[in-house]
């Protein structure tokens, strides 16, 4: 019986691609400390008391270590059940996916069998070892693991759905066009791909291609991907003002470069916020956003913010996030325990969000008041890191803008 091969088998001919893949989160999908902690320390202990979580555990392994899932016919309970050089997402697995089960891709519903022929995106490259497969070029391929519904019927991962509902899908711009091009984003609304040889072989032809897919798959974990992901504009209604006078500030946040919502993926963990401050004579003053109906859109005013985000996000900042609630009606950072999504105001693809603030110039202000708007991103809150005993992450500034108002 044929077996899946480790990525080291591909290195002889596809050395550059294997090096790229080794840097990716795909290669680290099983060894990732966040996955390791949440799966082995949190989900599996719950499974003994709640058998309905079995489907969720199966899906976790199907996407984070698919070969272990296939070999064990479901989820694993011990890291030793994996084969080290086959753990994570190896080249051979993705290039042997032929279809997905059901009506749409989600939750690791792949159909994949080991075999000599490897599926790829090049139509003219069919031979004993290579075979063109259209699915390799489509977002549906990525949706197999980048969309998921938990046992409660809650869509806990919706990146594929977000893309499908966006202008990117209508324009037939697929996940691969951004996450597998040289820049990680579109350039002038088009992908810029590498070119050259996909393989270097001693025997057989070495085709030179105008379009080579890179295999680093930059995303939420890559600063190069998140920095400048959003466009930010700041304007004021007057260039000078008197002490005691109100200044209106308009902020535009444009999700221009991202083909899905921002943030996406594990939306229950991701935090994105807009902070506006005024520098008055060297004194930094935070300018709070106004609350919506549920107050989840402003840091510190949601019912669970003190426990969940604490000091990670300055109080009063505008939040762009998704709130998952468990059976007890409490916010949960464990998506498999979510029974409903109580709030979601994330930025959709191509969405322009407008914010308006007011600030009264202090009566003793002199010189110039400098306003600074920043959009920051955090992969997961410190409370989550503490609960699982993993390293905390640092916020990344995605965009910033400044304006000055002179005091008369």
Considering only CA atoms, which of 104, 228, 109 is closest in space to residue 169? 104
Quote the pLDDT of residue 202.
63
Q: Given this model, what pLDDT does residue 52 score?
A: 96
pLDDT at 160: 99
CATH (one of 3.40.50.720, 2.60.40.3880, 3.20.20.70, 1.10.760.10) for 223-407: 2.60.40.3880
Contact 224, 339 (CB under 8 A): no
Tell me the whole-structure pTM to 2 decimals. Answer: 0.94
Question: Which residues 6+ apart lie within 8 Å of 11 measured at CB?
Answer: 18
* pLDDT on residue 292: 73
Q: What is residue 126's predicted lDDT score, i.e. its pLDDT?
A: 61
> Partners of 369 in the beta sheet?
280, 405
CA-based nearest residue to 152, from 326, 342, 333, 268: 326
For CATH 2.60.40.3880, the residue range(s) in the chain are 223-407
Q: What is the pLDDT along the chain (408 residues), one digit of tens a residue?
A: 579 999 999 998 999 999 999 999 999 999 999 999 999 999 999 998 999 999 999 999 999 999 999 999 999 999 999 999 999 999 999 999 999 999 999 999 999 999 999 999 988 756 778 899 999 999 999 999 999 999 999 999 999 999 999 999 999 999 999 999 988 888 888 999 988 887 776 666 667 788 899 999 988 777 777 777 899 999 999 999 999 999 999 999 999 999 999 999 999 999 999 999 999 999 999 999 998 777 899 999 998 999 999 889 999 999 999 999 999 999 999 999 999 999 999 999 999 999 999 999 999 999 999 999 999 999 999 999 999 999 999 999 999 999 999 999
CA separation for the pair 231, 401 (Å, rounded):
10
Q: Is the peptide bond before 263 cis (omega within 30 degrees of 0)?
A: yes
pLDDT at 315: 95
pLDDT score for 283: 95
Predicted pLDDT of residue 398: 94
Structure confidence at residue 328 (pLDDT): 97
């Amino acid at each position: 019986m044929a077996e899946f091969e480790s990525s080291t088998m591909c290195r002889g001919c596809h050395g550059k691609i294997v090096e790229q893949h080794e840097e990716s989160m795909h290669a680290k999908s099983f060894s990732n400390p966040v996955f390791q902690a949440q799966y082995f320390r949190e989900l599996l202990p719950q499974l003994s008391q709640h058998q309905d979580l079995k489907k969720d555990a199966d899906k976790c392994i199907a996407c984070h270590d698919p070969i272990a899932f296939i070999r064990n016919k479901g989820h694993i309970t011990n890291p030793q059940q994996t084969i080290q050089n086959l753990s994570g997402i190896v080249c051979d697995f993705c290039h042997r996916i032929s279809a997905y089960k059901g009506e749409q891709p989600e939750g690791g519903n792949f159909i994949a069998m080991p075999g000599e022929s490897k599926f790829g995106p090049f139509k003219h490259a069919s031979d004993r070892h290579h075979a063109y497969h259209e699915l390799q070029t489509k977002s549906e391929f990525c949706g197999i693991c980048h969309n998921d519904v938990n046992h409660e019927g809650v869509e806990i991962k919706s990146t594929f759905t977000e893309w499908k509902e966006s202008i990117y899908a209508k324009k037939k711009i697929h996940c691969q066009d951004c996450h597998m091009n040289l820049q990680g984003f579109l350039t002038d609304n088009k992908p810029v791909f590498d070119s050259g040889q996909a393989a270097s072989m001693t025997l057989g032809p070495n085709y030179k291609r105008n379009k080579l897919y890179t295999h680093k798959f930059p995303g939420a974990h890559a600063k190069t991907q998140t920095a400048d992901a959003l466009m930010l504009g700041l304007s004021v209604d007057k260039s000078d003002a008197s002490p005691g006078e109100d200044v209106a500030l308009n902020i535009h946040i444009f999700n221009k470069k991202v083909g899905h919502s921002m943030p996406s993926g594990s939306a229950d963990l991701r935090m994105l916020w807009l902070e506006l401050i005024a520098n008055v004579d060297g004194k930094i003053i935070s300018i709070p956003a106004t609350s919506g109906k549920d107050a989840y859109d402003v840091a510190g005013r949601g019912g669970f913010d003190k426990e969940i985000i604490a000091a990670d996000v300055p109080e009063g900042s505008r939040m762009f996030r998704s709130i998952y609630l468990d059976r007890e009606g409490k916010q949960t950072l464990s998506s498999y325990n979510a029974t409903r999504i109580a709030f979601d105001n994330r930025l959709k693809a191509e969405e322009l969000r407008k914010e308006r603030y007011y600030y009264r110039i202090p009566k003793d202000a002199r010189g110039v008041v400098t306003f600074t708007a920043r959009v920051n991103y955090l992969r997961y809150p410190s409370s989550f890191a503490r609960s699982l005993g993993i390293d905390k992450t640092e916020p990344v500034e995605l965009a910033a803008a400044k304006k000055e108002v002179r005091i008369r």
